[in-house]
Structure 1
Amino acid sequence: MKIIAVIPARYASTRFPAKLMQDLGGKTVISRTYDAAVQTNLFDDVFVVTDSDLIYDEIVSQGGKAIMSIKEHESGSDRIAEAIENLDVDVVVNVQGDEPFINKEPLEKVLEVFRNDTNQQVDLASLMRQITNPDDIKNPNNVKVVVDQNNFALYFSRSMIPYPREENVGVLYMQHIGIYAFRKQALLDFYSLPMKSLEASEKLEQLRYLEYGKRIKMVETSHVGIGIDTPEDLEKARKML
């Protein structure tokens, strides 16, 4: 089974323009993320896919592998699908370009799903973690997921799901952690299928997979990624480094 990592890297960012090209301990954020993905030794190959000549040149000049997007894309899945369409690969892992402190353990858990999926019943695998703080549960920026007894996703929402009409019944609230591993065909199917109403309403691309019958296996983790979304996040990352 051939497994690759793809790092979608847009230059523009609403909250922090050009964040991926900011300096983080003598290297750009995107270079640190690329190096961290390579150093996990989990992947047969690692690529950055970008719409930016600056980011492309940054990776290639350091001996890395980068792919230029041909089209404009609304989502990371679309950008990755275009890039891998003609690559010989079985499983594709989406690594966030603004998370340079990659933790190997949760990635291993996600990939283990496919190694154990001998009947190929899983289209995607992703991560979730339990949250207990009421403010975190209600926060629409924290995407929640509910799963069946086999940990296949039933629904993702920015709302509080399930709604606690009856309390003290042992409901757990799970936050979706946005690391994905896709079978190549599931990703290509996503690329060719139009957006439907649930995805359009919640602005969550994973709902397109569910709406078209794809199966998403969720894996529980305690890991919380450290993303760089603001200049303040960058300062924290510099101190951590």
Structure 2
Amino acid sequence: MRLAALIPARYAAQRLPGKSLADICGAPMVVRVAERARRAAGIDEVAVATDDERIANAVQAAGFRALMTDPACRNGTERIAQAAHDLPADGYLNVQGDEPLIDPRAIARVAELVRSGAEMATLARPLEPGEGARPQVVKVVLDARHRALYFSRSLIPYPRREGE
């Protein structure tokens, strides 16, 4: 089974334009993410899916493949789906482009689950204090077998009245 780690990256980030190219110890953030993904066991290829030539140039200069996508993609998932057409693989891992410190072992764990037959796998961790109300932090509800029931950017459960 051939697995590809795809990293969605766009220049026009809402909260911090150009975030993908932010310098992290001498290299763009997206390159730092790609380096971590390349170190993950079970990953056969790492590529960045982007709609921006500046990001593509930075990624290619660091020795990674850049796959150009339509600027009309509404989110990273659409960007990954489009890029997958240009990168043949049996499975794809969506590695977030703003996680320069992601542990390669975490990526490898997801790859292991996919290789073992999981149709879908995702990373999740307990929330830190104060993270629950932040819409930038995606929350997941898991069942007793650790299967995702649903994801939300809102609090779960959502408070009916302010202060709940």
Post-superposition CA distance 1:95-125 (Å, at most 9, x none): 12222222022222222222332xxxx4321
2:140 to 112, 136, 145: 145
The sequence identity of aligned pairs, in percent, is 39
Structure 1 position 157 matched with structure 2 position 158: no
Post-superposition CA distance 1:127-160 (Å, at most 9, x none): 2222374x43344443322222222211222343
The 1:155/1:26 distance shift into structure 2, 3 A limit, reads closer
Write the mapping of 1:28-43 to structure 2, written as runs, cut at 5 A.
28-43=28-43
Q: Which residue matches 1:195?
A: none
What TM-score, normalized by structure 1, do the two folds share? Answer: 0.58
* Counterpart-to-counterpart distance in 2, 1:132 and 1:25: 26
* Counterpart-to-counterpart distance in 2, 1:163 and 1:53: 40
* Counterpart-to-counterpart distance in 2, 1:80 and 1:145: 21
Post-superposition CA distance 1:33-80 (Å, at most 9, x none): 222222334311111111111111122233321111145200111111
* Counterpart-to-counterpart distance in 1, 2:23 and 2:133: 34
* Counterpart-to-counterpart distance in 2, 1:4 and 1:35: 14
Secondary structure of the residue aligned to 2:34 is: helix
Is the 1:3–1:89 contact (alpha carbons within 8 Å) kept by the matching residues of 2? yes
Alignment RMSD (CA, Å):
2.3
1:147 is matched by which residue type in structure 2?
A: L
Structure 1 position 101 matched with structure 2 position 101: yes
* Counterpart-to-counterpart distance in 2, 1:18 and 1:29: 10
What TM-score, normalized by structure 2, do the two folds share? Answer: 0.82
Structure 2: where are the runs of 5+ without partners? 160-164
Write the mapping of 1:1-241 to structure 2, written as runs, cut at 5 A.
1-117=1-117, 122-131=118-127, 133=129, 135-162=130-157
Q: Report which of the two has the higher share of helix.
A: 1
User: Aligned residue pairs: how many?
Assistant: 159
Asked which structure has the greater CA Rg, the reply is: 1
Secondary structure of the residue aligned to 1:42 is: coil
The 1:128/1:56 distance shift into structure 2, 3 A limit, reads same
